[in-house]
Amino acid sequence: MKKSWEEDRKNDRLVAYLPDLTDTDLKKLEDDLNSHNRGKWIIYTMNADEPGLLNLGFRQEAVSAGFFNGRKAFIYTMYGKKERGQSETSDENSAVLRRVAEDRKTVQADPVPPYPVTIAETSDLDSLAALYRNVFPRYPTDIFSADALKKAISSNYTFAVMKNNNGVVIGAASAMETGYGSAEITDCAVDPAYRGKMLLHFIVKVLERECKQKGITTVFSITRAKSTGMNMTVGRLGYTYEGTLINNCIISSGFEDMNIWTKSL
């Protein structure tokens, strides 16, 4: 399987996807640790209890079932800055997970959405960008312009949008293909005026069907740990909680903890 190293300067981190970790990979990683003062390093690998990573100071922070073509990814992290590795919302995070565990609402197998959900086309991108600017003051990736969204669609993203009777995008989410037979359900947003109607459930279901048609076997979501709404949404849709990534990326107020949830299609 392919390997990739992604230097994410905006979020002060390095993310590496190393399914089969080799001595060469470990040496490259050690060199990076010694030459950069990053806030966080994140490694996805199929190697459980990897001694090479543990010896470098990494610790397993979460897993993602099915990430690597049906095989589990073990997610190891290390923090270059002490404050980056300290959660400021751990109690709040735990309370959210308790509320999700106690939730008894279910989602119908074939629900009928109150507004149509379609795969986004070029003509939707200005309205989609406007939705994201309205919902997110800050975000880990560029989703605030039609040009940025068009570039994402031309690579490995598929956006699903819900539009009101005037053709305005009021809700959206995307599926980002990893290249490993899995996809991340991300960029989830609903116009504040339309919240409380479980609109994201309809949008995510469309994306799941689209992913399945493409041969993707696993989907996952990395949700804001302190967001009851998003964690509740994926919980109701049958996703399984698999860990929390501390101060993982910049979203809304700044660096935030993110929960990983996975689902087999």
Bridge partner list, 162: 117, 171
The full set of domain ranges for the chain reads 4-85, 90-264
In this chain, the answer to whether the domains covering 4-85 and 90-264 adopt an identical fold is yes
Residues pairing with 167 in the sheet: none
Distance from C-alpha of 128 to C-alpha of 161, rounded to nearest angstrom: 8
Report the C-alpha gap between 226 and 204 in whole angstroms.
20
pLDDT tens profile 8-23: 999 999 999 999 999 9
CB 42 within 8 A of CB 75: yes
Residue 107 has pLDDT above 80, yes or no: no
Write the pLDDT tens digit of every residue in 108-134. Answer: 666 688 999 999 999 999 999 999 999
**Domain 4-85 part of CATH 3.40.630.30:** yes
The order of strands in the sheet holding 13-17 is 4-8, 13-17, 40-45, 71-79, 59-68, 240-251, 254-264, 218-224, 182-190, 169-177, 157-163, 117-119
Give the bridge partners for 258, in sequence order: 224, 245
CATH (residue range 90-264)? 3.40.630.30
> pLDDT by residue (tens digit) across 36-84?
999 999 999 999 989 999 999 999 999 999 999 999 999 999 999 999 9
